[in-house]
Structure 1
Amino acid sequence: MTKTLIELLKQNKSHAQSFENEQFESVQDGQSPESVTVCCSDSRVLQDEMIENRTPGHVFTCSNIGNRVFEETADGLAVSGDVSYPLVHTGTENVVVIGHTGCGAVTATYKDIVDGIAEPAGIRHCIDLLKLRLTDGVEALPDDIEESEAINRLVEYNVDKQIEFLLDSAIVSDEMNVLGVVYDFQDVYSDERGMLHVVNVNGMRDPERIAEDWPELAAQMNRRWTY
Protein backbone atom coordinates (compact mmCIF):
# COMPACT_ATOMS: atom_id res chain seq x y z
CA MET A 1 0.00 0.00 0.00
CA THR A 2 1.53 3.31 -1.05
CA LYS A 3 1.90 6.33 1.19
CA THR A 4 -0.43 8.25 -1.13
CA LEU A 5 -3.29 5.77 -0.73
CA ILE A 6 -2.82 5.58 3.02
CA GLU A 7 -3.03 9.37 3.13
CA LEU A 8 -6.30 9.25 1.18
CA LEU A 9 -7.79 7.00 3.83
CA LYS A 10 -6.58 9.31 6.58
CA GLN A 11 -8.23 12.23 4.79
CA ASN A 12 -11.45 10.25 4.62
CA LYS A 13 -11.30 9.67 8.36
CA SER A 14 -11.00 13.41 8.86
CA HIS A 15 -13.96 13.88 6.52
CA ALA A 16 -16.10 11.43 8.47
CA GLN A 17 -15.21 12.99 11.79
CA SER A 18 -16.16 16.44 10.48
CA PHE A 19 -19.74 15.28 9.82
CA GLU A 20 -22.38 14.86 12.42
CA ASN A 21 -24.48 11.73 11.85
CA GLU A 22 -27.63 13.84 11.73
CA GLN A 23 -26.54 15.31 8.40
CA PHE A 24 -27.20 11.95 6.76
CA GLU A 25 -30.46 11.16 8.57
CA SER A 26 -32.75 12.73 5.97
CA VAL A 27 -31.16 10.82 3.08
CA GLN A 28 -30.88 7.34 4.60
CA ASP A 29 -33.68 5.90 2.46
CA GLY A 30 -33.54 8.03 -0.68
CA GLN A 31 -32.52 11.26 -2.31
CA SER A 32 -34.11 14.26 -4.00
CA PRO A 33 -31.23 16.48 -5.14
CA GLU A 34 -32.16 19.90 -6.47
CA SER A 35 -29.58 19.82 -9.26
CA VAL A 36 -27.46 17.43 -11.29
CA THR A 37 -24.04 18.63 -12.41
CA VAL A 38 -22.14 17.16 -15.36
CA CYS A 39 -18.47 18.03 -15.08
CA CYS A 40 -15.30 17.08 -16.89
CA SER A 41 -13.12 14.47 -15.20
CA ASP A 42 -10.04 16.55 -14.42
CA SER A 43 -8.02 16.69 -11.22
CA ARG A 44 -7.84 20.49 -11.48
CA VAL A 45 -11.61 20.90 -11.53
CA LEU A 46 -13.03 20.69 -8.00
CA GLN A 47 -16.60 19.75 -8.84
CA ASP A 48 -18.07 19.83 -5.33
CA GLU A 49 -15.80 22.49 -3.89
CA MET A 50 -16.53 24.99 -6.69
CA ILE A 51 -20.14 25.25 -5.50
CA GLU A 52 -19.41 24.54 -1.83
CA ASN A 53 -21.39 21.32 -2.00
CA ARG A 54 -21.01 19.80 1.44
CA THR A 55 -24.61 18.80 2.11
CA PRO A 56 -25.50 15.13 1.52
CA GLY A 57 -28.37 14.82 -0.97
CA HIS A 58 -28.13 18.39 -2.28
CA VAL A 59 -26.39 17.90 -5.66
CA PHE A 60 -26.17 14.79 -7.85
CA THR A 61 -22.66 14.94 -9.32
CA CYS A 62 -21.55 13.24 -12.55
CA SER A 63 -18.22 13.51 -14.32
CA ASN A 64 -16.63 12.08 -17.43
CA ILE A 65 -14.10 12.96 -20.11
CA GLY A 66 -15.44 16.05 -21.87
CA ASN A 67 -18.50 16.67 -19.63
CA ARG A 68 -20.70 14.63 -21.97
CA VAL A 69 -24.42 14.24 -21.30
CA PHE A 70 -24.91 11.39 -23.78
CA GLU A 71 -23.70 7.86 -24.38
CA GLU A 72 -23.86 5.30 -27.13
CA THR A 73 -26.47 2.57 -26.64
CA ALA A 74 -27.77 -0.32 -28.70
CA ASP A 75 -30.54 2.01 -29.88
CA GLY A 76 -28.23 4.90 -30.72
CA LEU A 77 -27.20 7.95 -28.75
CA ALA A 78 -29.13 8.65 -25.56
CA VAL A 79 -28.88 10.88 -22.51
CA SER A 80 -26.44 9.01 -20.28
CA GLY A 81 -27.81 7.00 -17.41
CA ASP A 82 -26.00 8.97 -14.73
CA VAL A 83 -27.66 12.18 -15.95
CA SER A 84 -31.03 10.57 -16.64
CA TYR A 85 -31.35 8.90 -13.26
CA PRO A 86 -31.84 12.00 -11.08
CA LEU A 87 -34.10 13.62 -13.68
CA VAL A 88 -36.33 10.57 -14.03
CA HIS A 89 -36.30 9.07 -10.54
CA THR A 90 -35.48 11.71 -7.92
CA GLY A 91 -37.41 14.81 -9.01
CA THR A 92 -34.35 16.82 -10.00
CA GLU A 93 -35.28 19.81 -12.16
CA ASN A 94 -31.96 21.56 -12.79
CA VAL A 95 -28.98 20.48 -14.89
CA VAL A 96 -25.61 22.24 -14.90
CA VAL A 97 -23.12 21.36 -17.66
CA ILE A 98 -19.62 22.37 -16.54
CA GLY A 99 -16.79 22.77 -19.03
CA HIS A 100 -13.39 24.16 -18.09
CA THR A 101 -10.58 26.16 -19.63
CA GLY A 102 -7.76 24.21 -21.22
CA CYS A 103 -9.85 21.04 -21.34
CA GLY A 104 -7.72 18.02 -22.21
CA ALA A 105 -10.63 16.12 -23.74
CA VAL A 106 -11.51 19.01 -26.02
CA THR A 107 -7.82 19.45 -26.87
CA ALA A 108 -7.46 15.78 -27.82
CA THR A 109 -10.63 15.91 -29.91
CA TYR A 110 -9.46 19.06 -31.68
CA LYS A 111 -6.08 17.50 -32.47
CA ASP A 112 -7.74 14.31 -33.68
CA ILE A 113 -10.02 16.24 -36.03
CA VAL A 114 -7.14 18.33 -37.37
CA ASP A 115 -4.30 15.80 -37.56
CA GLY A 116 -5.41 12.47 -36.09
CA ILE A 117 -3.97 11.05 -32.88
CA ALA A 118 -3.50 7.59 -31.37
CA GLU A 119 -5.13 6.77 -28.04
CA PRO A 120 -6.09 3.61 -26.09
CA ALA A 121 -9.52 2.18 -26.91
CA GLY A 122 -11.38 3.71 -23.97
CA ILE A 123 -10.07 7.21 -24.62
CA ARG A 124 -10.64 6.74 -28.35
CA HIS A 125 -14.30 5.96 -27.68
CA CYS A 126 -14.72 9.19 -25.69
CA ILE A 127 -12.97 11.25 -28.36
CA ASP A 128 -15.14 9.75 -31.08
CA LEU A 129 -18.26 10.71 -29.13
CA LEU A 130 -17.01 14.26 -28.67
CA LYS A 131 -16.16 14.49 -32.37
CA LEU A 132 -19.84 14.04 -33.14
CA ARG A 133 -20.43 17.41 -31.46
CA LEU A 134 -17.20 19.31 -32.08
CA THR A 135 -16.37 18.73 -35.75
CA ASP A 136 -18.62 21.55 -36.97
CA GLY A 137 -17.15 23.83 -34.32
CA VAL A 138 -13.59 23.13 -35.47
CA GLU A 139 -14.58 23.89 -39.04
CA ALA A 140 -16.09 27.22 -37.92
CA LEU A 141 -12.86 28.42 -36.27
CA PRO A 142 -10.77 31.13 -37.98
CA ASP A 143 -7.81 29.77 -39.94
CA ASP A 144 -5.21 31.83 -38.08
CA ILE A 145 -6.40 31.16 -34.53
CA GLU A 146 -3.89 30.07 -31.89
CA GLU A 147 -4.45 26.59 -30.49
CA SER A 148 -5.09 27.71 -26.91
CA GLU A 149 -7.77 30.15 -28.04
CA ALA A 150 -9.27 27.51 -30.34
CA ILE A 151 -9.52 25.09 -27.42
CA ASN A 152 -11.24 27.59 -25.13
CA ARG A 153 -13.71 28.53 -27.84
CA LEU A 154 -14.45 24.86 -28.38
CA VAL A 155 -14.95 24.40 -24.63
CA GLU A 156 -17.89 26.80 -24.88
CA TYR A 157 -19.05 25.13 -28.09
CA ASN A 158 -18.98 21.73 -26.40
CA VAL A 159 -21.07 23.01 -23.48
CA ASP A 160 -23.56 24.41 -26.03
CA LYS A 161 -23.79 21.11 -27.89
CA GLN A 162 -24.25 19.05 -24.73
CA ILE A 163 -27.10 21.36 -23.72
CA GLU A 164 -28.57 21.12 -27.21
CA PHE A 165 -28.62 17.34 -26.90
CA LEU A 166 -30.37 17.54 -23.54
CA LEU A 167 -33.01 19.97 -24.76
CA ASP A 168 -33.71 17.80 -27.81
CA SER A 169 -34.26 14.74 -25.64
CA ALA A 170 -37.48 13.55 -24.05
CA ILE A 171 -35.70 13.38 -20.67
CA VAL A 172 -35.65 17.14 -20.15
CA SER A 173 -39.09 18.69 -19.81
CA ASP A 174 -40.05 22.31 -20.41
CA GLU A 175 -40.22 22.84 -16.66
CA MET A 176 -36.54 21.96 -16.18
CA ASN A 177 -33.66 24.42 -16.33
CA VAL A 178 -30.33 23.75 -18.04
CA LEU A 179 -27.34 25.96 -17.26
CA GLY A 180 -24.02 25.92 -19.11
CA VAL A 181 -20.88 27.24 -17.43
CA VAL A 182 -17.11 27.22 -17.86
CA TYR A 183 -14.80 26.80 -14.84
CA ASP A 184 -11.75 29.02 -15.27
CA PHE A 185 -8.48 28.36 -13.47
CA GLN A 186 -6.21 29.79 -16.21
CA ASP A 187 -7.17 33.51 -16.20
CA VAL A 188 -8.93 33.15 -19.54
CA TYR A 189 -12.10 34.99 -18.54
CA SER A 190 -10.82 36.96 -15.56
CA ASP A 191 -8.09 36.93 -12.92
CA GLU A 192 -10.45 35.37 -10.38
CA ARG A 193 -9.46 31.73 -10.62
CA GLY A 194 -12.10 29.15 -9.85
CA MET A 195 -14.99 31.30 -11.09
CA LEU A 196 -17.85 29.75 -13.06
CA HIS A 197 -18.69 31.81 -16.15
CA VAL A 198 -22.20 31.44 -17.55
CA VAL A 199 -22.23 30.78 -21.30
CA ASN A 200 -25.62 29.18 -21.93
CA VAL A 201 -29.05 29.18 -20.28
CA ASN A 202 -31.69 26.79 -21.61
CA GLY A 203 -30.04 26.89 -25.02
CA MET A 204 -29.73 30.67 -25.13
CA ARG A 205 -26.21 31.92 -25.87
CA ASP A 206 -26.72 35.66 -26.35
CA PRO A 207 -25.23 37.45 -23.30
CA GLU A 208 -27.56 40.43 -23.62
CA ARG A 209 -30.66 38.24 -23.82
CA ILE A 210 -29.55 36.18 -20.86
CA ALA A 211 -28.81 39.29 -18.80
CA GLU A 212 -32.24 40.63 -19.72
CA ASP A 213 -34.13 37.44 -18.87
CA TRP A 214 -32.01 36.41 -15.88
CA PRO A 215 -30.47 39.61 -14.45
CA GLU A 216 -29.18 37.71 -11.43
CA LEU A 217 -26.79 35.85 -13.77
CA ALA A 218 -25.45 38.98 -15.49
CA ALA A 219 -22.42 39.36 -13.22
CA GLN A 220 -21.11 35.92 -14.23
CA MET A 221 -22.27 35.96 -17.86
CA ASN A 222 -19.16 35.81 -20.03
CA ARG A 223 -18.73 34.25 -23.48
CA ARG A 224 -15.58 34.25 -25.61
CA TRP A 225 -17.16 33.02 -28.82
CA THR A 226 -20.29 34.10 -30.62
CA TYR A 227 -20.94 31.99 -33.70
Structure 2
Amino acid sequence: MPRQTLADLLARNDRHVESLPADYFAEVQESQHPHVVSLCCADSRVSQEGMWDVHEPGWLFTPSNIGNLAWDDTDADVVDGNLLYPIRHTDTRMVVVVGHTGCGAVTAAYDAATTGEYPEAPGIRRRVEPLVPVVERGLSGAVDRDQPRSAVVDDLVEHNVCEQVAFLAESEEVPTEATVFGFVYDLHGHYGGPAGRAYLVSVDGRTDTAILEDWADERTDHLLAEA
Protein backbone atom coordinates (compact mmCIF):
# COMPACT_ATOMS: atom_id res chain seq x y z
CA MET A 1 0.00 0.00 0.00
CA PRO A 2 2.72 2.61 0.78
CA ARG A 3 4.37 1.86 -2.59
CA GLN A 4 1.11 2.40 -4.46
CA THR A 5 0.32 5.54 -2.48
CA LEU A 6 3.79 6.91 -3.29
CA ALA A 7 3.21 6.17 -6.96
CA ASP A 8 -0.11 8.01 -6.76
CA LEU A 9 1.56 10.95 -5.04
CA LEU A 10 4.26 11.26 -7.68
CA ALA A 11 1.71 10.93 -10.49
CA ARG A 12 -0.32 13.73 -8.91
CA ASN A 13 2.78 15.91 -8.83
CA ASP A 14 3.46 15.12 -12.49
CA ARG A 15 -0.04 16.30 -13.38
CA HIS A 16 0.50 19.41 -11.24
CA VAL A 17 3.73 20.28 -13.06
CA GLU A 18 2.18 19.66 -16.47
CA SER A 19 -0.73 21.96 -15.64
CA LEU A 20 1.45 24.98 -14.81
CA PRO A 21 2.21 27.67 -17.37
CA ALA A 22 5.91 28.42 -17.85
CA ASP A 23 5.69 31.73 -15.95
CA TYR A 24 3.57 30.40 -13.06
CA PHE A 25 6.07 31.39 -10.34
CA ALA A 26 7.60 34.38 -12.12
CA GLU A 27 6.09 37.08 -9.89
CA VAL A 28 6.73 35.32 -6.57
CA GLN A 29 10.07 33.54 -6.95
CA GLU A 30 12.03 36.26 -5.17
CA SER A 31 9.47 37.43 -2.60
CA GLN A 32 5.92 37.02 -1.41
CA HIS A 33 3.24 39.50 -0.38
CA PRO A 34 0.09 37.42 0.19
CA HIS A 35 -3.20 39.27 0.41
CA VAL A 36 -4.51 36.99 3.15
CA VAL A 37 -3.13 34.78 5.89
CA SER A 38 -5.68 32.07 6.61
CA LEU A 39 -5.23 30.02 9.79
CA CYS A 40 -7.26 26.86 9.33
CA CYS A 41 -7.81 23.68 11.28
CA ALA A 42 -5.55 20.93 9.94
CA ASP A 43 -7.87 18.35 8.35
CA SER A 44 -7.69 16.28 5.16
CA ARG A 45 -11.23 17.32 4.23
CA VAL A 46 -10.51 21.03 4.40
CA SER A 47 -8.48 22.55 1.56
CA GLN A 48 -7.66 26.20 2.11
CA GLU A 49 -6.85 26.88 -1.52
CA GLY A 50 -9.95 24.93 -2.49
CA MET A 51 -12.41 26.73 -0.22
CA TRP A 52 -11.20 30.14 -1.39
CA ASP A 53 -10.77 29.07 -5.04
CA VAL A 54 -7.11 30.09 -5.07
CA HIS A 55 -5.12 28.90 -8.09
CA GLU A 56 -2.23 31.36 -8.20
CA PRO A 57 0.87 31.19 -5.96
CA GLY A 58 1.54 33.97 -3.48
CA TRP A 59 -2.05 35.07 -2.89
CA LEU A 60 -2.83 33.04 0.26
CA PHE A 61 -0.56 32.19 3.20
CA THR A 62 -1.84 28.97 4.75
CA PRO A 63 -0.73 27.92 8.25
CA SER A 64 -2.78 25.15 9.85
CA ASN A 65 -2.98 23.34 13.17
CA ILE A 66 -5.54 21.12 14.84
CA GLY A 67 -8.20 23.34 16.35
CA ASN A 68 -7.09 26.49 14.43
CA LEU A 69 -5.36 27.79 17.54
CA ALA A 70 -4.19 31.37 17.07
CA TRP A 71 -2.00 31.58 20.14
CA ASP A 72 1.08 29.52 20.85
CA ASP A 73 -0.05 26.23 22.34
CA THR A 74 2.23 26.72 25.36
CA ASP A 75 1.63 30.45 25.88
CA ALA A 76 -1.80 32.07 25.55
CA ASP A 77 -0.20 35.54 25.41
CA VAL A 78 1.85 34.85 22.26
CA VAL A 79 0.49 34.81 18.71
CA ASP A 80 1.35 31.57 16.90
CA GLY A 81 4.48 32.20 14.84
CA ASN A 82 3.14 30.48 11.73
CA LEU A 83 0.34 33.02 11.66
CA LEU A 84 2.41 36.00 12.78
CA TYR A 85 5.16 35.55 10.18
CA PRO A 86 3.23 36.94 7.17
CA ILE A 87 1.73 39.70 9.30
CA ARG A 88 5.19 40.88 10.35
CA HIS A 89 7.31 40.01 7.32
CA THR A 90 5.17 40.07 4.17
CA ASP A 91 2.91 43.04 5.01
CA THR A 92 -0.23 40.92 5.05
CA ARG A 93 -3.05 42.85 6.67
CA MET A 94 -6.04 40.54 6.25
CA VAL A 95 -6.17 37.68 8.74
CA VAL A 96 -8.67 34.85 8.56
CA VAL A 97 -9.35 32.13 11.14
CA VAL A 98 -11.24 29.12 9.80
CA GLY A 99 -12.82 26.34 11.83
CA HIS A 100 -14.92 23.56 10.37
CA THR A 101 -17.90 21.47 11.38
CA GLY A 102 -17.15 18.05 12.79
CA CYS A 103 -13.77 19.22 14.11
CA GLY A 104 -11.88 16.39 15.82
CA ALA A 105 -9.81 18.73 17.99
CA VAL A 106 -12.87 20.53 19.34
CA THR A 107 -14.56 17.16 19.86
CA ALA A 108 -11.55 15.96 21.86
CA ALA A 109 -11.58 19.16 23.93
CA TYR A 110 -15.32 18.72 24.51
CA ASP A 111 -14.73 15.16 25.75
CA ALA A 112 -11.93 16.37 28.02
CA ALA A 113 -14.11 19.15 29.43
CA THR A 114 -17.10 16.89 30.08
CA THR A 115 -15.48 13.55 30.99
CA GLY A 116 -11.91 14.39 31.94
CA GLU A 117 -10.59 12.07 29.22
CA TYR A 118 -7.73 13.44 27.11
CA PRO A 119 -6.02 11.98 24.03
CA GLU A 120 -3.32 9.49 25.02
CA ALA A 121 -0.61 10.68 22.61
CA PRO A 122 1.36 13.47 24.39
CA GLY A 123 1.79 15.58 21.27
CA ILE A 124 -1.93 15.52 20.50
CA ARG A 125 -2.88 16.15 24.12
CA ARG A 126 -0.59 19.20 24.13
CA ARG A 127 -2.57 20.61 21.21
CA VAL A 128 -5.97 19.80 22.69
CA GLU A 129 -5.34 21.13 26.20
CA PRO A 130 -5.41 24.84 25.22
CA LEU A 131 -8.83 24.31 23.65
CA VAL A 132 -10.41 22.90 26.80
CA PRO A 133 -10.86 26.29 28.57
CA VAL A 134 -12.34 27.68 25.34
CA VAL A 135 -14.84 24.82 25.23
CA GLU A 136 -15.65 25.22 28.91
CA ARG A 137 -16.43 28.91 28.39
CA GLY A 138 -18.65 28.02 25.47
CA LEU A 139 -20.52 25.40 27.47
CA SER A 140 -21.01 27.84 30.33
CA GLY A 141 -22.96 30.33 28.26
CA ALA A 142 -22.77 30.65 24.50
CA VAL A 143 -23.62 27.07 23.52
CA ASP A 144 -26.85 25.18 24.12
CA ARG A 145 -25.80 21.91 25.76
CA ASP A 146 -29.23 20.32 25.29
CA GLN A 147 -28.64 19.46 21.62
CA PRO A 148 -27.36 16.35 19.89
CA ARG A 149 -23.64 15.91 20.47
CA SER A 150 -22.74 16.81 16.87
CA ALA A 151 -24.65 20.09 17.07
CA VAL A 152 -22.98 20.98 20.38
CA VAL A 153 -19.56 20.35 18.85
CA ASP A 154 -20.36 22.44 15.78
CA ASP A 155 -21.56 25.32 17.93
CA LEU A 156 -18.35 25.01 19.95
CA VAL A 157 -16.39 25.19 16.69
CA GLU A 158 -18.01 28.56 16.02
CA HIS A 159 -17.37 29.68 19.59
CA ASN A 160 -13.72 28.69 19.29
CA VAL A 161 -13.29 30.65 16.05
CA CYS A 162 -14.79 33.72 17.69
CA GLU A 163 -12.42 33.43 20.66
CA GLN A 164 -9.38 33.08 18.39
CA VAL A 165 -10.45 36.14 16.37
CA ALA A 166 -10.99 38.19 19.53
CA PHE A 167 -7.56 37.18 20.81
CA LEU A 168 -5.88 38.31 17.60
CA ALA A 169 -7.87 41.54 17.43
CA GLU A 170 -6.75 42.41 20.96
CA SER A 171 -3.14 41.26 20.64
CA GLU A 172 -0.44 43.94 20.64
CA GLU A 173 1.54 41.76 18.22
CA VAL A 174 -1.04 42.26 15.47
CA PRO A 175 -0.95 45.76 13.90
CA THR A 176 -4.05 47.87 14.42
CA GLU A 177 -4.48 48.28 10.65
CA ALA A 178 -4.94 44.52 10.23
CA THR A 179 -8.49 43.16 10.06
CA VAL A 180 -9.29 39.74 11.48
CA PHE A 181 -12.19 37.65 10.18
CA GLY A 182 -13.59 34.41 11.53
CA PHE A 183 -15.29 31.74 9.41
CA VAL A 184 -16.78 28.30 9.89
CA TYR A 185 -16.40 25.98 6.90
CA ASP A 186 -19.53 23.83 6.82
CA LEU A 187 -18.99 20.23 5.69
CA HIS A 188 -22.26 18.92 7.09
CA GLY A 189 -24.98 21.47 6.31
CA HIS A 190 -25.05 22.52 9.97
CA TYR A 191 -26.11 26.04 9.03
CA GLY A 192 -28.67 24.97 6.46
CA GLY A 193 -26.73 25.83 3.32
CA PRO A 194 -24.72 23.73 0.85
CA ALA A 195 -21.69 21.76 1.97
CA GLY A 196 -18.49 23.72 1.43
CA ARG A 197 -19.85 27.16 2.25
CA ALA A 198 -17.78 29.37 4.57
CA TYR A 199 -19.87 31.35 7.05
CA LEU A 200 -18.64 34.68 8.41
CA VAL A 201 -19.05 34.62 12.21
CA SER A 202 -16.76 37.37 13.51
CA VAL A 203 -14.97 40.55 12.45
CA ASP A 204 -12.28 41.83 14.80
CA GLY A 205 -14.04 40.06 17.65
CA ARG A 206 -17.45 41.53 16.81
CA THR A 207 -20.28 39.09 16.13
CA ASP A 208 -23.33 41.35 15.98
CA THR A 209 -25.52 41.19 12.91
CA ALA A 210 -24.94 44.77 11.72
CA ILE A 211 -21.15 44.36 11.62
CA LEU A 212 -21.29 41.04 9.78
CA GLU A 213 -23.83 42.33 7.25
CA ASP A 214 -21.78 45.46 6.63
CA TRP A 215 -18.63 43.48 5.85
CA ALA A 216 -20.41 40.77 3.86
CA ASP A 217 -22.10 43.47 1.77
CA GLU A 218 -24.57 41.64 -0.48
CA ARG A 219 -23.15 38.16 0.14
CA THR A 220 -25.70 37.36 2.83
CA ASP A 221 -25.65 33.68 1.88
CA HIS A 222 -22.36 33.55 3.80
CA LEU A 223 -23.99 34.83 7.00
CA LEU A 224 -25.68 32.69 9.59
CA ALA A 225 -29.47 32.89 9.54
CA GLU A 226 -29.52 33.47 13.29
CA ALA A 227 -26.55 35.87 13.40
Establish whether TM, by shorter chain, passes 0.5.
Answer: yes
Residue 115 (structure 2) pairs with residue 122 (structure 1): no
Q: Closer, same or farther in 2 for the Cα pair 1:8/1:223, shift >3 Å?
A: farther
Unmatched 5+ stretches in structure 2: none
How many equivalent residue pairs? Answer: 224
Aligned residue runs from structure 1 range 30-41, under 5 A: 30-41=31-42
CA contact (8 A) 2:183 2:201 kept: yes
Displacement of 1:145:
2.6
1:4 maps to which residue?
5
Displacement of 1:89:
0.3
Give the TM-score, by structure 1 length: 0.92
CA contact (8 A) 1:199 1:223 kept: no
Report Cα offsets for 1:34-80 as digits up to 9, x if no partner: 1000111111112111111111111000111001111145x763101
Residue 62 (structure 2) pairs with residue 61 (structure 1): yes
Displacement of 1:146:
2.1
Q: After alignment, is 58-67 or 46-55 more displaced?
A: 46-55
Query: How many Å separate the matches in 2 of 1:102 and 1:72?
Result: 21
Residue 159 (structure 2) pairs with residue 157 (structure 1): yes
1:106 maps to which residue?
106
Query: How many Å separate the matches in 1 of 2:128 and 2:111?
Result: 10
Aligned residue runs from structure 1 range 46-195, under 5 A: 46-72=47-73, 77-119=77-119, 120-140=121-141, 141-195=143-197
Give the TM-score, by structure 2 length: 0.92
Q: Closer, same or farther in 2 for the Cα pair 1:143/1:178, shift >3 Å?
A: closer
1:211 maps to which residue?
213
Displacement of 1:213:
5.3
Query: How many Å separate the matches in 2 of 1:143 and 1:163?
Result: 23
Unmatched 5+ stretches in structure 1: none
Query: How many Å separate the matches in 1 of 2:91 and 2:130?
Result: 28
CA contact (8 A) 1:199 1:207 kept: no
CA contact (8 A) 2:139 2:145 kept: no
Report the RMSD for the aligned CA atoms in angstroms: 1.8
Q: Closer, same or farther in 2 for the Cα pair 1:184/1:66, shift >3 Å?
A: same
